[in-house]
Structure 1
Amino acid sequence: MEKDNVNTVKYPALLDIKFAKVASSLGITKRELFVKMVEYFYRTKKDPSDINDDLLKSSFAKSHKVYTSFIKTQEQLLLIPMKEAMDKMISNQKDIVKYFNEQVVNANKSILKNQQEHISKLQETENLLVKAIEGKEKLKTNFLLILNGYIRNREELGSFKAREREDLIENVRKQIASL
């Protein structure tokens, strides 16, 4: 070092204690430490008043790495298996809904077909009942006509014509049998 051109820097005594501790921990003199500090700030162009700059950056970098590794671990342990399980569950739900819809549609078609068959059978039964009722009424009407004709003819015959009376009874029986 040059001893020719020496300048003096004044600073408080408490700072000198810190300065001496740093120099002794590095194993160099206070003058050498001062020269190295000036070189360091000159070359790096860092602001010496911003002492937390490097510490903050390294702290952020460490925290970022820790958080990133934590997130990647959680992703592997939790998120990916959960996503796979949810995808499987969604697929199963879709299959269940599809199966349910197919079953419901088929059941509805079957029920509708059975209802149509019942309606047609009921219609046929109703038609048969109407015909039966109409036939019964027609039968009653015809029977009354035959009965009235028998009564009228019997009254006209009187009590002495047995042969004609037998013919009338036989004729009425044939008419009733043909109903």
Structure 2
Amino acid sequence: METRKTDNIKLLRTIKYDTATAQKMEEIALKLGRPQRVVFAQMVDYFHRSKKDPLDVNDELLKNTLLKQHKDYIGFIRTQENEMLIPIKREVDRMNRNQKAIMEHFGSIDLHNRAVLQADRELLSGQKVHNDILRQIAGSLDGISDKMAGREAMKEMFHYILDSYVQKRESFGMMTPAREKEELLNRTRKQIDLL
């Protein structure tokens, strides 16, 4: 729709479109609470300023999908850490303190008592098993800590790739060939696959 001013008279141009498009236009105008003519003019201004192709909706969908998956992954790691790993480590530390106290108590009793010696051997064997479990848990916690640090680095790399994509995308004009847009999208996907 184009308006020309001639001697304070506005000449309006007419655009013809089908019924389905008219219904969509009415729904948009109702949702936004503005007249259809104003909404149409704002759409034209938006695409003119942003230099975006209305047919290409992939850039927002890609960004939103990647961000949602990243948030889900981080949420899973935090849940596992809070619900499993921290309580397990706390309980293992408590068990170790209790076993040391028991060992010290049995160490002070007469060593000639065979029952006490047998109990000491069993406790030492149990402590060895618990220490092995503690080492495995400590290794798991170290691995999770490394993954959390890696998560931050991956987040930075993802932001860099996304920013590069958006900057290049913004530099495209309305006349940019679809082939260039597809090449940009393919390069961006390859960069993400390398993360």
TM-score class, shorter-chain normalisation, is 0.3 to 0.5
Compare the two structures and name the one with the higher helix fraction: 1
Instruction: Calculate the TM-score normalised by the size of structure 2.
Output: 0.40
Q: Which has the higher contact order (CA 8 A, sep 6+)?
A: 2
Instruction: Calculate the TM-score normalised by the size of structure 1.
Output: 0.43
